[in-house]
A and B are shown apart, each in its own frame.
Chain A
Amino acid sequence: MASEAEHQEEHHGLQPMQYVKIGVLLTAITVVELGVSYWEAVSHMLLPILFVLSGIKFAIVVALFMHLKFDNPLFTRLFLMSFVLGSVVLTMLTALFWTDATLTN
Chain B
Amino acid sequence: MAAAAQIEHHASSTGTDNRKLLMWIFLGSECLFFGSLLATYLIFKGEPTTATNDHGLLMIPANLLDIPLTSQSTFVLLMSSLTMVLAVYGAQTNRLKMMKLWLLATIVLGLIFIGYQVFEFTTFGNEGLNPSTNQFGASFFLLTGFHGVHVGIGVLYLGSLLLASFRRTGLGPEAGVHVELAGLYWHFVDIVWIVLFTVIYLIPA
List residues of A whose CB falls within 8 A of some B CB.
Answer: 3-4, 7-8, 10-11, 13, 15-16, 19-20, 22-23, 26-27, 30, 33-34, 37, 46-47, 50-51, 53-54, 57-58, 61-62, 65-67, 72, 74-75, 78-79, 81-83, 85-87, 89-90, 93-94, 97-98, 104
Contact = CB atoms under 8 A, between A and B. Distances in A.
Interface of B is mostly: helix
Contacts of B89: 11, 13, 15-16, 19
Contacts, number: 144
B1 to A, nearest CB: 10
B54 interface: no
B195 A58 contact: yes
A72 B21 CA distance: 10
Interface of B: 14-16, 20-21, 24-25, 27-29, 31-32, 34-36, 38-40, 42-44, 47, 67-68, 71, 74-75, 78-79, 81-82, 84-86, 88-89, 92-94, 135, 176, 180, 183-184, 187-188, 190-191, 194-195, 197-198, 202-204
The 8 closest A-B pairs by CB, nearest first: A82-B28, A86-B35, A86-B31, A23-B82, A93-B39, A11-B92, A7-B94, A54-B198
Nearest to B177: A10
A61 B27 contact: no
B39 A20 contact: no
